[in-house]
């Protein structure tokens, strides 16, 4: 058999157009979130500050940038213990230890930065700052899947009603929103690979291999923000990677 006849081509459909991802709009998740506002010493908001969380147990890091109101939100964080770091130009690096997140909780961490170089660091213990936890599972008062289906508003955000926690902290308040109440965007992905073996000797071969991921370069949106307290609730803020092409040469013996 000639070398060209050994040219193999595989085309695999990883996902079809009718596959949908369901997202639970802040109901019955095993995740939590951290939100807050970053201020300077005068009380003015700090825009474009980088806020990074690190889970102590796993080393998992998440990052957010403060908006025009100086607000940030980090959603879908696995429950556990965290540290929070904030960096902004012209301010000392802020580091807070000892943040504990439980299921469906939102830890509100207000941050006051001090003037100075980023190489300087101000460390705060959890006992020195109040971290207020609130339950964010809402009631459903409409059809969430009747939304406009755009990145700016993927689902009908007015279909959810946020509940207020007990002011005395005597008990937790839960809404009636169930699992998988919202359908996320479809996911379509075709990967392709081709390879050719070139025999050099009886026991040695060269293999040229090419692979294309997301061959059609289809835009696959990520899940919308599901934290009802977030100013970006219901928005899709990023997409999955575009087309990726890889080539390789292997020596087989």
Instruction: Supply the pLDDT for residue 225.
Output: 84
Cβ burial of 39 (10 Å; 0-12, 13-18, 19+) is: middle
pLDDT of residue 232: 84
The domain ranges of the chain are 1-28+137-253, 29-135
User: Two tokens at 205?
Assistant: 């071969």
- Position 28 pLDDT exceeds 60: no
Mean pLDDT of 93-122: 83
How distant is the alpha carbon of residue 245 from its chain centre? Answer: 25
85-114: average pLDDT = 87
Confidence of residue 134 (pLDDT cuts 50, 70, 90): low
Q: Would you say domain 29-135 falls under CATH 1.10.3130.10?
A: no
Nearest CA-CA partner of 151 in 73, 241, 238, 21: 238
Helix, strand, coil abundance in the chain, percent, nearest 5: 5, 45, 50
Planar angle of CA 115, 118, 122, nearest 5 degrees? 70
Q: What is the pTM of this model?
A: 0.46
Distance CA 39, CA 43 (A): 5
For the stretch 73-95, pLDDT in tens is 888 888 888 999 999 999 999 99
Measured distance between the N- and C-terminal CA atoms of the chain, rounded to whole angstroms: 19
Residue 107: predicted pLDDT: 82
Provide, rounded to the nearest whole percent, the portion of the chain with pLDDT above 90.
28
């Amino acid at each position: 058999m000639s070398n060209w006849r050994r040219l193999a081509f595989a085309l695999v459909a990883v996902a079809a157009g009718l596959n949908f991802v369901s997202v639970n709009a802040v109901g019955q998740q095993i995740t939590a979130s951290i939100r807050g506002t970053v201020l300077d010493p005068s009380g003015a908001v700090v825009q474009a500050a980088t806020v990074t969380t690190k889970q102590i147990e796993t080393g998992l890091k998440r990052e957010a940038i403060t908006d025009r109101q100086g607000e940030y939100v980090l959603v879908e964080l696995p429950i556990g213990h965290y540290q929070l770091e904030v960096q902004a130009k012209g301010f000392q690096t802020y580091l807070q230890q000892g943040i504990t997140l439980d299921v469906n909780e939102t830890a509100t961490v207000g941050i006051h930065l001090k003037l100075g170089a980023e190489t300087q660091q101000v460390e705060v213990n959890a006992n020195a700052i109040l971290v207020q936890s609130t339950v964010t599972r809402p009631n459903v008062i409409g059809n969430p899947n009747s939304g406009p289906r755009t990145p700016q508003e993927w689902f009908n955000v007015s279909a959810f009603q946020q509940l207020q926690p007990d002011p005395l902290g005597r008990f937790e308040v839960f809404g009636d929103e169930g699992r998988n109440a919202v359908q996320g965007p479809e996911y379509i992905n075709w990967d392709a690979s081709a390879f050719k073996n070139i025999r050099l000797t009886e026991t040695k071969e060269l293999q040229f291999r090419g692979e294309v991921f997301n061959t059609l370069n289809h835009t696959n949106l990520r899940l919308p923000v599901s934290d009802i307290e977030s100013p970006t609730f219901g928005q899709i803020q990023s997409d999955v990677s575009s087309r990726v092409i890889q080539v390789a040469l292997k020596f087989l013996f």
